Structure 1
Amino acid sequence: METIEDVVIIGAGLCGLATALGLHRKGVKSVVLESSEALRAAGFAFSTWTNAWKALEALGIAGELRQHHLRLEGLGIYSASAGAITFQIPFKTSEGPEMRCVRRDLLLETLAKELPSGTIRYSSKVVLIEESGNLKVLHLANGSTLRTKVLIGCDGVNSVVAEWLGLKKPSFAGRSATRGFSEFPDGHGFNSEFVQFFGQGFRAGIMPCDEKSMYWYFTWSSSSKDKEMEKDVTKMRQFVITKMQEANVSQNFIQVIEKSDMGDLVSFPLKFRWPSELLWRNICKGNVTVAGDALHPMTPDLGQGGCAALEDAVVLARCLAEALKENDNEDAKEDECVRLKSGLENYVAERKWRGFDLIFTSYVFGRIQQSDNAFTRFLTEKMLVGIMARTLIKKTYYDCGKL
């Protein structure tokens, strides 16, 4: 007899594993389908702000991760036209934001080891989703099928589940990004600070993960002539270095890029979902919904993509667990399908405006900071940089609540 799962999550990335862990903490069993043969830690690291740490605390893994990552003490914004840091915000430990650069592999491994054995099923690529009454039937590339009461798409920007729901494919933001990770066995010697660079057509950031490793990213307005360069690590690294040198960035920072590992994915286009889609399209349909990048792909200009995915996971696990909870009064029991639909609708209602806000603000900030227009750069440097920095910090105080 074919097994019917309560919850199937597609994608063993950050959001998928966090959602599975949230459900596990609430006593709900789930299955996570991952198309690759092992955990994928592409991207090296990501910025985790206060809102992400609140979500990680709800999931019960914040303490372990804090042991391996430095708490950053401030944000410094470097103007390419001025050739110096023009704005700084110190992060006071008692009242300021908590910001750390977390290694993606450590985070995924920490999430995975907290899950019951057998939760993650590797080499399980979903190729077709069909309906069978109140169930969803998932057809996998290996020829097997799976039936589930609830289907959650945490399968990234090119989500199969988002497409099934009728969401439009994410749009190209007109920019591309690359990133790298550098290790210094004897210590890197940098301050515990997040430094951003903007202007002259690019936007970049460098921050330490711990005393011996540094993470950096670089975004620029790409064109068709960049295609060859984007596939070659050597050419891409030199492109970034040249841009930074032209902006008079300190040689100390440039050395971080010179010795970094850029991985197999040299560069990638930045994509985003038009925020209006979160208001007018079906984010959930019956017993199906999406979360993380499958829901709100955004440009990285607020550093909130991964943070928002963790928020999604906590809210979704909380809403879904409540919907799956048995009612002791038999006469008052609602039909399970109705309860599941209601639970997912509650999740959507709580998350759509948050997603709208983050997508819109990230896109606008990126366009302004990366502008090559002299007047826009002048206006940003003299007036807007402080407003944007304080707005960025304000977004990090969001609290997704407990499980």
Structure 2
Amino acid sequence: MEVVEDIVIVGAGIAGLTTSLGLHRLGIRSLVLESADTLRTDGLAFALWTNAWKALDAIGVGHSLRHKHNKLTRLVSTSVVSGLPTAELSLEGNHEVRRINRKVLIETLRNELPQGTIRYSSKVVSIQDSGFFNTIHLADGTLLKTKVLIGCDGVNSVVAKFLGFSRPSFAGRASIRGYIACEYGHGFEPKFLQFFGNGIRYGVTPCDDHGVYWFFTYIPSPRDKGVEEDPAKMKQFVLSKLGNVSNKVRDIFEKTDLNSMIWSQLKFRRPWELLWGNISKGNVCLAGDALHPMTPDIGQGGCSALEDGVVLARVLAKAVTEKPRIGIQENAEEIKQERIKMGLEKYVKERRWRSIKLVSCAYVVGFIQQSNGIVISFLRNKVLPGFLAAMLLKMSDFDCGSLADS
């Protein structure tokens, strides 16, 4: 069976749903292909910084999400060796940071889209260039022809492979994340608590009055083999590495249910690939983790995906709605395709250097924060703590603009 669509977005994650919703707000329909049979809401939670809230406001869902998640007031960095704070930074004033439940965000974006926008159980197995169209081959045998193809299909993106990108690189670190819902409240102040030292980095942050999210990153070694396969071992491993920390913080890890933890490798796109690679080619482009997978050390993975969606919806809407000049109607399709190509190139121009900066900064900050070397540890604990904390605010000081920007 062959189906023709104007705009196809591969992946119903943050970038894909944001792009589709942005287009919908501007009166343009898109089809979102999701390989899973339901909406994927795993991932527990993540921080949304100031730039992300500007993007959420641009697509009209920021207000509803604010009411469900507490605004964080301070970022506190602490050494796991001494147990003493090394830096404290205010998150008030012009800054807005909230730890948000990923399921809530994904469902909020989905619920704003028209019924039928997302097609589930639609795994893309290959893509074929067919002139004005690209032909998408699905695992169920369906052939989709589309005038615009947007890859938002994550770190193992089929669309990125089609554009010539290699798989993201292993950053040499792994992550364990968890979430706990405290029935009678958690008692934590609205602060972003992070801890460093002995080659590890972890953090604890309240999402609302009851939910607390935590993350733990480390450098895997042969003696840690099997941790990722057994939740009980995973939990004991984390508890054994917490260091000098308060009982209140330790209790969060101890009380986390084994089914509420996720292990993953940390991967990133090498910056020079973003510099020279084809982020777009003709009527095909990338967004979100398919474009710029990065380590989580500056909290910008989900935030930058939201930025991508707003910018992409804006430039694409202008390209597909602009009327051809009088007298050249006979070449209207060719002209429209050229406008789409130019629109996607404008998107690339806006997002390439932003992506390079975020990926590079995240990698460097993570290396410094998690290094166990004597010199780096001294600099991190004595010289750079305020600088490292401030980098999170600096990277979030960005405005992707509104959907209606020219």
Bin the TM-score by the shorter chain.
Answer: over 0.9
* CA distances 1:113-145 after superposition (whole Å, capped 9, x unpaired): 100110000000010111222101111111111
- Tell whether the 8 Å contact from 1:47 to 1:102 is kept in structure 2 after alignment: yes
Map of 1:153 onto structure 2: 151
1:253 aligns with 2:242: no
> CA RMSD for the aligned pairs?
1.4
In the alignment, does 2:291 pair up with 1:300?
A: no
* Counterpart check, 1:352 vs 2:352: yes
Match of 1:268 in 2: 264
Residue type of the alignment partner of 1:142:
D
Alpha carbons 2:7, 2:31 under 8 Å: kept: yes
How many percent identity over aligned positions? 53
Residues 343-383 of structure 1 deviation map (CA, whole Å, 9 limit, x = unaligned)? 10000000010000000010001011101112211111111
CA distance in 2 between partners of 1:366 and 1:141 (Å): 38
Matched, 1:326 2:326: no
1:118 corresponding residue in structure 2: 116
* Counterpart for residue 310 of structure 1: 306
Instruction: Kindly report which structure 2 residues correspond to 1:3-402, keeping only aligned pairs within 5 A, or say none.
Output: 3-92=3-92, 95-244=93-242, 247-261=243-257, 263=259, 266-327=262-323, 329-331=325-327, 335-402=335-402
Query: Partner amino acid for 1:15?
Result: A
Per the TM alignment, residue 328 of structure 1 is displaced from its structure 2 partner at its CA by: 5.9
2:2 touches 2:142 (CA, 8 Å); kept in 1? no
Instruction: Report the TM-score, using the length of structure 2 for normalisation.
Output: 0.96
- SS of structure 1 residue aligned to 2:207: strand
Q: How far apart are residue 329 of structure 1 and its match?
A: 3.1
Encode CA deviations 1:315-338: one digit per residue, 9 max, x unaligned: 000011111013163336671110
Alpha-carbon distance in 1 for matches of 2:224, 2:159: 31
**2:207–2:213 contact (8 Å) kept in structure 1:** yes
Cα gap change, 1:261 to 1:60, in 2 (>3 Å): farther
How far the C-alpha of 1:389 sits from its partner, in A, is 1.1
Q: Is the 8 A contact 2:47 2:299 kept in 1?
A: yes
Deviations 1:154-188 (A, max 9, x none): 00000000011001111000000010001101000
| Aligned residue type for 2:14 | L
Residues paired across the two proteins, number? 399
Partner AA of 1:392 in structure 2 = L
How many Å apart are 1:91 and its aligned residue? Answer: 2.1
Asked if the contact 1:236–1:266 (Cα under 8 Å) also holds between the matched residues in 2, the reply is no
Amino acid at match of 1:91: L
How far does residue 262 in structure 1 lie from its aligned partner after superposition?
5.3
Give CA deviations for 1:239-285 in whole Å, capped at 9, x if unaligned: 111100xx201111111111124547731110000011111111111
The CA distance in 2 between the partners of 1:77 and 1:325, in whole Å, is: 49
Structure 1 CA distance, aligned partners of 2:121 and 2:402?
33
SS in 2 for 1:351: helix
Structure 2 gap ranges (5+): none
Distance 1:223 1:232 in 2: 16
What amino acid does structure 2 have at the position aligned with 1:296? Answer: H
